Structure 1
Amino acid sequence: MAASNSEPQIILYDLACTKGVCFSPVVWRIRLLLNYKQISYKTVFLEMPDIGPTLKELGVAPHDPASGNRVDYTVPTIHHLATNRYIMESKPIAEFIESTYPDPPVQLTSELGSEIELKIRSLVAPTFYRSAMPREINILSPRAQEYFRSSREARFGKTLEELLEGEEERWKAVDADRHAVGELMRTNKALGPFILGAQPSYSDFFIAGSLQSVKVIDEGVFQRSVQCPGYKDIYEACLPYMEKKD
């Protein structure tokens, strides 16, 4: 396990915001993993329009066209200094970190964790995203705001303001599903606060990272998101691994 105050072993490319902290949920998964393992790293924040040009200039290979990504380059991307290796996207990064820094171990997949992640993505995330994403523009620089608005409004065929319409009805409609998924998170509550019990897994980082992301974006949406049992338990249990935000 690397000492957190040593020279950085990894450069983490992250998404910039005006608050100067991490707010991307997919980057938070990796940041939580690095913080938990106490791996020393340095963050390089990139504005949205600069992600592609910067990573391309560094020689990072673009996403495979078959991957389904809308763009060639995304964050998180890491540069592992010892091997001079660049890795893009959270899943392969997590696999690399776990294999390279196995102590303390983090279980990357589990049957229960996969079930919870699937239900979050299908039942809860659409409402969560619809409330958080349009408000994201409020923490972006003017240049990034222009890029964000044009790209998101083109994708959805609506203005950001229109995307927020009907918000209360959407949250009410998903309330039962949110509670059900939250209870599933508490399956092993007798053993500890995490999905699998006493130790965090990557699925916990998936949940906590999403919640921390929305907390940075909008406190009101965050408070609404942690009302159900399970979500708040995991978020609070992961707080020690969210102290390094930049």
Structure 2
Amino acid sequence: MGLDTRIGCAGWSIDRQSAPRFPGDGSHLQRYAAVLTAAEINSSFYKPHQATTYARWAASVPADFRFSVKLPRSISHDQKLVDIDELLARFAAEAGTLGDKLGCVLVQLPPSLTLQPAVADDFFARLHDSFDCMLACEARHGSWFSDEATELLRRHRITRVIADPPAGQPGIYVPTTDLVYARLHGSPRIYYSSYDEAYLDQVAAYLKDRSGWCIFDNTASGAALPNALELLDKVRTQSQSKTT
């Protein structure tokens, strides 16, 4: 698949329609991780999880599986990235028990948060001090898509998220690292709409020669897992055609 492509969902619930693709015993996570290679932990945004919970999740998945963990809203939304040492230390201690199964930390910023270069510079430095995995940022205010923001993200090796539908992004997506982190929220109805085959063909083509993540967040009506499976099939077919 691609160069190193991870396809998954925000969470690992298995709906009845998709269940035949996930046979066998075990928890939903164990069955999910036998087919897909990534999952985004969104619940960490809303509430902390015990270190033992993260460790149990890590022990439930194969060696090549990776989690992306969403930064708590207490840091991104409540504190707006300022005075966050204690909160960040707690989050790092908890999520860090994922060990080598921690593939990415996702930062989603509120639509009202404008770029303050000095604040962002300090925050991303602290984030790198706390985690040695991939770091991705989904900003939703137009100031985070300026040339100044692009240079700042590149300097700190922060992958700018490709979001659908995009929020705050004027014009064409400008990457900030060699990695991809796509979050597909559902369109036209965010969190609900399923993606059609033509759109998934475009996503597969985009991922073809790129490394990174593609996470489906259109979970509200159960569209995420069928979309992820369809994209997985397309990317695998694409990869097989390259080797034959």
With structure 1 as the length reference, what TM-score do the two structures score?
0.28
Whichever structure has more strand as a proportion of its residues is 2
Q: Which has the higher contact order (CA 8 A, sep 6+)?
A: 1
Whichever structure has more helix as a proportion of its residues is 1
With structure 2 as the length reference, what TM-score do the two structures score?
0.28
